[in-house]
Structure 1
Amino acid sequence: MSRPLAPGAPEVATDHPDAPQTDLSPIAGAVAEADAAGFVAVGDRFDDDLRYLSRFGGPDRAYAVVVTPDRAALTAPALFDEQAQREFVHGAPEDGLAREIRTARQGDPAGVRAAAALDDLASSAGSTVLTPASIPHDAALYLENAGYELESTTVVADARRQKTAAELDCLRRVQAVTCRGMARAEAVLAAAEPDGDDLLFEGDPLTTERLRREVEAEIARHGVRGAGNTVVGAGPTAADLHYTGVDHIAPGETVLLDISPRGPHGYYGDLTRTFAVDSDGGWERRAFVAVEQAHETALEHVEAGVTAGTVHEEAAAELTAHGFRIDSDEVGLTHGVGHGVGVSLHERPSLRAETPLEPGNVVTIEPGVYDPEIGGVRIEDLVAVTENGFERLASYPVRFTPVSPE
């Protein structure tokens, strides 16, 4: 059953967009430039690099993707041949690579199968193999025992920085669903009634866990699931950047919600808002005003060509002007003002990096201030860098006092 939502939640498309397909030509180009035998990534469905390369939402058992200058292969685990064919081969972009699924020796370790694929596919006589730094130790040993020398490469992380139109479609939808989850949480807070030290919702004291369940039920209605990382903190626990425990919510204190679910194609949403019910002002209101201004200032500096770290510096300067510290690990601004988002919740670029923002980068803008004895305030949106500025991938109002459904 549909539950009331606070005003401002965006409409959500009925269906998820089609799964993006990855252009492997940058990987093949890195292999050719290095005169290497090939590129190898090994992992399972929990490895984000491999998920990006293969678009294979496969099993929790290891497999490999092997890329040479003109060919690409996925070593499908047993019982996953058809799914691998469908997701890795069918509908693949025209990137100049012939793709195939390899089903031989499915009982062998993934590293052994990767080495065998290289032996068959490599067109270079070179013995170097490019790998992500995260390649499992056993796979590295199997490749070395087969006579290959491993060389770490950042080519996958570099490729993931700039999102395609299809990736942006996935990110827009999951972020819109994330906003719906926030709207449900805000509606619950708006309906809660102060009763001494409690906020009562439907007759019971409201807790962070109850609020978290309301959020996750709403996003599940739209085919998006929580990733076990929905942060809801109240009062002092709102100063815990990743609080996922159970806490009592009292009138007047800050309630911080950081919602970052994962869509069916692996892309994350990320949205944070901070509310207070029956607040009498004080630190909570002052912190909210400072963070809201820092958030707006940071957004004003998001555009192609601006050094990523500049966005952080401008937001930090705004918080300093409001009297909050930026030089402490416990009080004030205690983290970077943003990070990349894609098939990982945290990926390049960091907004502390000294590299220019580029069109297609997708980053969070999330200044915050915290006091472990009082609470925390953070405001976060997910934006895509464009040629002339940025695009909010979905919009949700910023307000201190929660608003009831219309």
Structure 2
Amino acid sequence: MDPDFSPLDDLLEAEDADGYLVDDTSHNSTQKYLSGFEAHDPFVTLYTPEKTILLVSALEYGRAKKQSRADEVRRVAEYDYRELVSEHGPAEAKARAHAEFLDEYDVASVLTPERFPLGPADGLRERGVAVEAEESDRVTEIRATKTDEEIEHVRAAQNANEEAMRAAENLIAAADVEDGTLVYEGAPLTSERVKEEIEVTLLRHGCGLDDTIVACGANAADPHDQGSGPLHADEAIIIDIFPRSKETGYHADMTRTFVKGDPSEEIRERFDLTHEALNAALDAVEPGVTGADVHDVVCDRYEEAGYDTLRSNATAETGFIHSTGHGVGLDVHELPRIASNGEELKPGHVITIEPGLYDPSVGGVRIEDIAVVTEDGYENLTSYPVELVV
């Protein structure tokens, strides 16, 4: 993968900065994207239009030389770091070493991500380096447009996601119903048990996740309620899975809503309307339209059916109470926004479309697919069926 960093070069020129500096672990997606390196301890990436240089610990040096996309890899030990720690303590030692590192590459001014750590920034400023946080979030803008390789990484994560969703659905389908509660192998089938099945399946397919959503009934009326406790018959169960590939770091995202038993007419109507909104939004996806345009399609469908949206009622607590979608990549939520302030869509954008309706007296319904914007429309990366009753 060889990203086009020319927009970052343009930003550095416009802001009259010598380089772009990141000081963080690879859990920061800007760090991972710029460096092409994954490490759980903080390290420094210096990007200039001429080259990219990493400054790492001795522990990471060999691996960074082999795995990163940097033109050079340097060790903090080269800047007498141990001696500086003994004389000045860790914080000042780090500042002195980093300042010397920048000076070696004739870098006297840097732009940083907005959330660059304050202590290191102050330490560099005290040593004459101009440090300014950028406002445009340029690297995030760059990585919103995926290369073919990145799209394949998302596709692979989505394939694992669908296996996990299938395992969850099969578990719910295999459950019996006793006094309105789902029972599996003699015990109540809980949200936690379904999440366990999801996580185990993802691990077997090279993915993991920090959390997932299996929310039933009134719990599902809160879009980000992760769900807990026994699952019930005849109630909508929202399952939202957003795994990360352990090999590539890329995410997928998908939501389905299931009912074990007989859904009420109200749930069926909301499900069918949400499915229609999903398809209408996908049909609107093409280069040149904005995320706001796609969001408006969903709002139109819901408002015409008499439901509140945040577009029609900014304080609505029921109805369609979130945006239509978001970009997906190294972060599960990234640009572009499929929302009222959504940007122009471009080929290579990987986005979700996830309309939903929520009301504690009814429950929640949400359906989510993940797709990539192409030159003439979109490719849906989701093949999992949309069916309410299991």
TM-score by length of 1: 0.86
Q: What's the offset of the Cα at 1:354?
A: 4.5
Are the equivalent residues in 2 in contact too, given 1:233–1:247 (CA < 8 A)? Answer: no
Q: Does 1:396 align with 2:384?
A: yes
Q: Tell me what 2:87 maps to.
A: none
Q: Tell me what 2:17 maps to.
A: 36
Q: Tell me what 2:85 maps to.
A: none
Q: Residue by residue, what CA displacement relative to the aligned partner does 1:214-252 show, whole Å, maximum 9, x if unpaired? A: 1111111111112x2211100011122222342211110
Which of 325, 332, 356 lines up with 2:344 in the alignment? 356
Q: Tell me what 2:37 maps to.
A: 56
Q: Does 1:296 align with 2:283?
A: no
Letter of the structure 2 residue corresponding to residue 370 of structure 1 = Y
Which of 256, 265, 274 lines up with 2:257 in the alignment? 274
Q: What's the offset of the Cα at 1:146?
A: 2.0
Q: What's the offset of the Cα at 1:148?
A: 2.1
SS in 2 for 1:84: helix
Q: Tell me what 2:66 maps to.
A: 86
Q: Does 1:68 align with 2:48?
A: yes
Change (3 A) 1:329 1:79: farther
Q: Tell me what 1:255 maps to.
A: 237
Which of 355, 358, 361 lines up with 1:373 in the alignment? 361
- Tell me: higher relative CO, structure 1 or 2? Use CA pairs within 8 A at least 6 residues apart: 1
Which of 334, 344, 350 lines up with 2:321 in the alignment? 334
Are the equivalent residues in 1 in contact too, given 2:288–2:346 (CA < 8 A)? Answer: yes
Q: Tell me what 1:246 maps to.
A: 228
Write the distance in 2 (CA, Å) between the matches of 1:361 and 1:30.
21
Write the distance in 1 (CA, Å) between the matches of 2:216 and 2:11.
48
Are the equivalent residues in 2 in contact too, given 1:207–1:248 (CA < 8 A)? Answer: yes
Q: Residue by residue, what CA displacement relative to the aligned partner does 1:66-112 show, whole Å, maximum 9, x if unpaired? A: 012212111112311111112214xx7xxxxx433344245565555
Are the equivalent residues in 1 in contact too, given 2:236–2:263 (CA < 8 A)? Answer: no
Q: Tell me what 2:305 maps to.
A: 322
SS in 2 for 1:257: strand
TM-score by length of 2: 0.90
Q: How many residue pairs end up in the alignment?
A: 371
Write the distance in 2 (CA, Å) between the matches of 1:364 and 1:114.
40
SS in 1 for 2:274: helix
Q: Tell me what 2:213 maps to.
A: 231
Are the equivalent residues in 1 in contact too, given 2:116–2:133 (CA < 8 A)? Answer: no
Write the distance in 1 (CA, Å) between the matches of 2:285 and 2:126.
48
Q: Tell me what 1:308 maps to.
A: 291
Are the equivalent residues in 1 in contact too, given 2:23–2:43 (CA < 8 A)? Answer: yes
Q: Tell me what 1:119 maps to.
A: 103
Write the distance in 2 (CA, Å) between the matches of 1:224 and 1:374.
33
SS in 2 for 1:348: strand
Are the equivalent residues in 2 in contact too, given 1:367–1:380 (CA < 8 A)? Answer: yes
Change (3 A) 1:26 1:117: farther
Q: Which structure 1 segments of 5+ residues have no match?
A: 1-19, 93-97
* Mean Cα deviation higher: 391-400 or 360-369: 391-400
Are the equivalent residues in 2 in contact too, given 1:55–1:88 (CA < 8 A)? Answer: yes
Q: Which structure 2 segments of 5+ residues have no match?
A: 83-89
Write the distance in 1 (CA, Å) between the matches of 2:218 and 2:275.
20
Q: Tell me what 1:180 maps to.
A: 163
Change (3 A) 1:247 1:112: farther
Q: What's the offset of the Cα at 1:114?
A: 3.6
Are the equivalent residues in 1 in contact too, given 2:270–2:357 (CA < 8 A)? Answer: yes
SS in 2 for 1:331: coil
Are the equivalent residues in 1 in contact too, given 2:220–2:227 (CA < 8 A)? Answer: no
Are the equivalent residues in 2 in contact too, given 1:68–1:121 (CA < 8 A)? Answer: no
Are the equivalent residues in 2 in contact too, given 1:21–1:55 (CA < 8 A)? Answer: no
Write the distance in 2 (CA, Å) between the matches of 1:31 and 1:331.
45
Q: What's the offset of the Cα at 1:340?
A: 0.8
Change (3 A) 1:78 1:388: same
Are the equivalent residues in 1 in contact too, given 2:206–2:245 (CA < 8 A)? Answer: yes
Write the distance in 1 (CA, Å) between the matches of 2:316 and 2:118.
34
Taking only aligned residues, the RMSD between alpha carbons, in angstroms, comes to: 1.9
Change (3 A) 1:101 1:382: farther
